[in-house]
């Protein structure tokens, strides 16, 4: 393992995802969520930044979402500032108009036929579970994966959060169940029965890895990790006040120093319980609280105490923000001392590096497949 400016090539490769990086090429070979569906009204466009690369996302007046190139090929202005017309987007600067396939269909000040020689990049785009997904890689898109656990009866809810650190800080955190005993010592996790320091094991699966946390006197909590950047857990959503629910999340680099998480919950509530749940959600949404990032940063500066943060409605988010950003914007891995409880962290690195080296050398990659038998479990005796 050679060192480049104090960061090993291995750690650089798993944390850097900009265009041309090996980690970026790998992540771009999957369908990735890029936006919440409800943040994009028909007839609107917005700029995106994903993996240090700019894109345009717009929703045609026909309701169809589309990801295309960020800048106009005429004189380079930002396309998301333009007008949506039907299912096309017209540039704000000189009115060139582009269809969802990227073809220029009008260049008003130019001679006839001029537009037909011009096109911009367009990316396969689809919507599922309240998220807009795009395939941002080269070549044909792989089959679009579906998750039947999220298609069960109940309330499906999509959300997102921003975190001011590299996405791999979060990926490693999700393979590390010991932190629940400390980071989330005061939270709905412990109220739900996840107390005590667990014994951790990890094994490779068809989808990624399964991380098991065995607690004395309790059951085994299994977290399913999907390669390259997903998680499936069963969790009590602190902000939502519901029963144990299923959470699937994707960690998406914005650049190498920040990321977003797109989260989809299935709340298994029905009938009257569903009505109560919706009312509780509306009440929570109406409460104005300082953001998780602000609270996390103030706590790390030493300006807030444990008592000051304990009633934050997203206390689990605050706690995870504190430790993940506290590791360094890109975690300080050089010099770290891994122990037996870090088997999940070690395995996710191993799988990523195995696939990156295969990609570099042109060897076949593993085709990761989710299936409903890879179930996440709660791991307490009260709820499973
Ligand atoms: S810059 Fe877009 S039409 Fe001129
Ligand atoms: Fe956590």
Q: Are residues 239 and 328 in the same domain?
A: yes
165: Cβ–Cβ under 8 A, 6 or more apart, which residues? 257, 258, 259, 324, 325, 327, 328, 329, 330, 331
The pLDDT confidence band at residue 335, using thresholds 50, 70 and 90, is confident
| Burial group, residue 198, by CB count within 10 angstroms (0-12, 13-18, 19+) | buried
Partnered with residue 134 across adjacent β-strands are 32, 125
Residue-wise pLDDT tens digits, 99-147: 999 999 999 999 999 999 999 999 999 999 999 999 999 999 999 999 9
The single residue listed with the structure tokens 């060897």 is 363
> Ligand 1 pocket check: which of 69, 71, 72 to mutate, most ligand atoms within 8 Å of Cβ?
72
Q: Which residues form the domain of 221? A: 148-361
| Atom in ligand 1 nearest the alpha carbon of residue 75 | 1
Percentage of residues of the chain with pLDDT beyond 90: 77
Mutate to test the pocket of ligand 1, among 74, 106, 107 (most ligand atoms within 8 A of CB): 74
Atom of ligand 1 nearest to the CA of 76: 1
What pLDDT is stored for residue 2 in this prediction?
46
Q: Is the pLDDT of residue 6 over 80?
A: no
State the closest ligand 1 atom to the C-alpha of 79, by its place in the atom list counted from 1.
Answer: 2
277 and 323 part of one domain: yes
Range 170-191 average pLDDT = 90
Pocket test for ligand 1, best of 69, 71, 75, 106 (most atoms within 8 A of CB): 75
Q: Which ligand is nearest to the CA of 83?
A: 1
What is the arithmetic mean of pLDDT over 23-43?
98
- Give CA separation, 214 vs 35, 173, 192, 236, in Å: 36, 17, 15, 18
Contact 171, 270 (CB under 8 A): no
Pocket test for ligand 1, best of 82, 91, 108, 110 (most atoms within 8 A of CB): 91
The tokens for 80 are 């998301």
> Ligand 2: distance of its center to the CA of 215 in Å?
17
The pLDDT of residue 302 is 98
Q: Which residue CA neighbors atom 1 of ligand 1 most closely?
A: 75
The predicted model gives 34-56 an average pLDDT of 98
> How far is Cα 299 from Cα 321, in angstroms, rounded to an integer?
10
pLDDT of residue 1: 44
256 by Cβ neighbours in 10 Å (0-12 / 13-18 / 19+) ranks as buried
* Nearest ligand, measured from the Cα of 97: 1
Say how many domains are in the chain: 2
Taking residues 72-97, report their average pLDDT: 98
Lowest-confidence region among 79-83, 195-199, 279-283, 362-366: 279-283
What mean pLDDT do residues 300-320 have? 94
In 3D space, the residue among 95, 94, 96, 93 whose CA is nearest the CA of residue 116 turns out to be 96
47 alpha carbon – ligand 2 mean position (Å)? 30
What is the tens place of the pLDDT at every residue in 10-31?
Answer: 999 999 999 999 999 999 999 9
Task: Tell me the CA–centroid distance for residue 116 and ligand 2, in Å.
Answer: 52
Same domain, 240 and 327: yes
Residue 288 in this model has a pLDDT that exceeds 70: yes
Range 261-269 average pLDDT: 91
Asked whether residue 330 is domain-assigned, the answer is: yes
Q: Residue of the nearest CA to atom 4 in ligand 1?
A: 94
Q: 374 phi and psi, to 5 degrees?
A: -80, 70
Pocket of ligand 1 (CB under 6 A): 72, 74-75, 77, 91, 93-96
**Do 217 and 192 reside in the same domain of the chain?**
yes
Is pLDDT above 60 for 381? Answer: no
CA of 96 to the centre of ligand 1 (A): 6
Separation in Å, CA 317 to CA 41, 106, 180, 314: 28, 47, 12, 5
Mean pLDDT of 41-66: 98
In a domain, 161, yes or no: yes
Buried b vs exposed e over 289-328: b needs ≥16 C-beta within 10 Å? eeebbebbbebeeeebeeeebeebbbbbbbbbbbbbbebe
CA distance 97 to 333: 48
The arithmetic mean of pLDDT across residues 59-78, rounded, is 98
Lowest mean pLDDT among 172-176, 226-230, 282-286, 364-368: 282-286
pTM for the model: 0.94
* Residues near 350 by beta carbon (within 8 Å), at least 6 away in sequence: none
61: domain CATH number is 2.102.10.10
What's the mean pLDDT in 364-372?
96
Encoding tokens for residue 187? Answer: 């939270």
Q: Is the pLDDT of residue 383 over 60?
A: no
Q: Are residues 128 and 177 in the same domain?
A: no
Residue 216 has pLDDT above 50, yes or no: yes
258 is a domain residue:
yes
Q: Looking up tokens 């109940």, which residue turns up? A: 154
Calpha distance 368→227 (Å, rounded): 7
Q: Specify if 366 maps to a domain.
A: no
Q: In this model, does residue 36 exceed pLDDT 50? A: yes
CA-nearest residue for atom 3, ligand 1, is 94
Alpha helices in the chain (DSSP H): 9-15, 22-27, 167-173, 179-182, 188-191, 271-286, 292-301, 306-309, 315-326, 343-361
Is position 313 within any domain? Answer: yes
What's the confidence (pLDDT) of residue 330? 93
Q: Are residues 288 and 179 in the same domain?
A: yes
Task: Output the CA torsion sign for 139, 205, 347, 232.
Answer: positive
What does the alpha-carbon distance between residue 191 and residue 24 come to, in Å, rounded to a whole number? 39
Q: What is the pLDDT of residue 195?
A: 77
240: pLDDT strictly greater than 60: no
pLDDT of 138-172, one tens digit each? 999 999 999 998 988 888 999 999 999 999 999 99
Residue found by looking up tokens 């029965």 in the block = 193
**pLDDT-derived band at 287, boundaries 50, 70, 90:** confident
Q: What is the pLDDT of residue 5?
A: 52
Q: Which two tokens stand for residue 156?
A: 């499906």
pLDDT at residue 241 is higher than 70: no
Query: Does 19 reside within a domain?
Result: no
A 10 A CB-CB count for 246 gives 21
Residue 383 within a domain: no
Instruction: Write the CATH number for 326.
Output: 3.90.380
Considering the domain architecture, whether residues 187 and 260 belong to the same structural domain is answered as yes
How many angstroms does the Cα of residue 46 sit away from the middle of ligand 2? Answer: 31
Instruction: Please give the angle made by the CA atoms of 186, 330 and 49, to the nearest 5 degrees.
Output: 100
Q: What is the pLDDT of residue 57?
A: 98
Find the 58 Cα to ligand 1 centroid distance in Å: 17
pLDDT at site 384: 37
Residue range 67-78: mean pLDDT, rounded: 98
Of 80-94, 164-178, 267-281, 361-375, the range with the lowest mean pLDDT is 267-281
Q: How confident is the model at residue 187 (pLDDT cuts 50, 70, 90)?
A: confident
């Amino acid at each position: 393992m050679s060192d480049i400016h104090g960061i090993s090539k291995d750690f650089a490769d798993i944390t850097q995802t900009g265009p041309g990086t090996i980690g970026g090429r790998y992540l771009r070979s999957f369908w990735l969520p890029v936006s919440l569906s409800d943040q994009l009204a028909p007839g609107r466009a917005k700029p995106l930044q994903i993996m240090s690369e700019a894109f345009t996302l717009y929703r045609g007046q026909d309701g169809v979402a589309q990801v295309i190139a960020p800048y106009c090929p005429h004189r380079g202005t930002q396309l998301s500032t333009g007008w949506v017309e039907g299912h096309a987007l017209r540039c704000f600067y000189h009115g060139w108009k582009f269809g969802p396939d990227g073809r220029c269909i009008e260049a008003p000040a130019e001679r006839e036929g001029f537009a037909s020689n011009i096109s911009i990049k367009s990316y396969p785009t689809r919507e599922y579970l309240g998220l807009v997904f795009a395939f941002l890689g080269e070549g044909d898109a792989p089959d679009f994966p579906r998750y039947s656990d999220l298609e069960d009866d109940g309330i499906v809810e999509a959300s997102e959060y921003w975190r001011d650190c590299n996405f791999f800080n979060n990926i490693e955190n999700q393979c590390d169940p010991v932190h629940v005993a400390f980071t989330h010592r005061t939270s709905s996790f412990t109220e739900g029965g996840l107390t005590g320091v667990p014994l951790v094991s990890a094994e490779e699966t068809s989808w990624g890895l399964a991380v098991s946390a065995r607690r004395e006197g309790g059951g085994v909590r299994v977290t399913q990790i999907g390669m390259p950047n997903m998680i499936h857990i069963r969790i009590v959503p602190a902000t939502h006040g519901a029963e144990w629910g299923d959470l699937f999340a994707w960690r998406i680099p914005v650049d190498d120093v920040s990321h977003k998480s797109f989260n989809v919950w299935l709340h298994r509530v029905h009938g009257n319980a569903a009505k109560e749940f919706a009312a509780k959600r509306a009440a929570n949404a109406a409460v104005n609280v300082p953001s998780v990032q602000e609270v996390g940063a103030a706590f790390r500066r030493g300006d807030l105490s444990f008592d000051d943060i304990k009633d934050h409605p997203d206390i689990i988010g605050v706690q995870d923000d504190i430790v993940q950003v506290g590791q360094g914007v890109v975690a300080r891995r050089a010099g770290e001392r891994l122990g037996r409880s870090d088997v999940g962290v070690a395995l996710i690195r191993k799988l990523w590096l195995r696939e990156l080296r295969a990609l570099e050398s042109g060897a076949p990659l593993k085709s990761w497949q989710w299936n409903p038998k890879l179930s996440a479990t709660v791991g307490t005796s009260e709820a499973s």
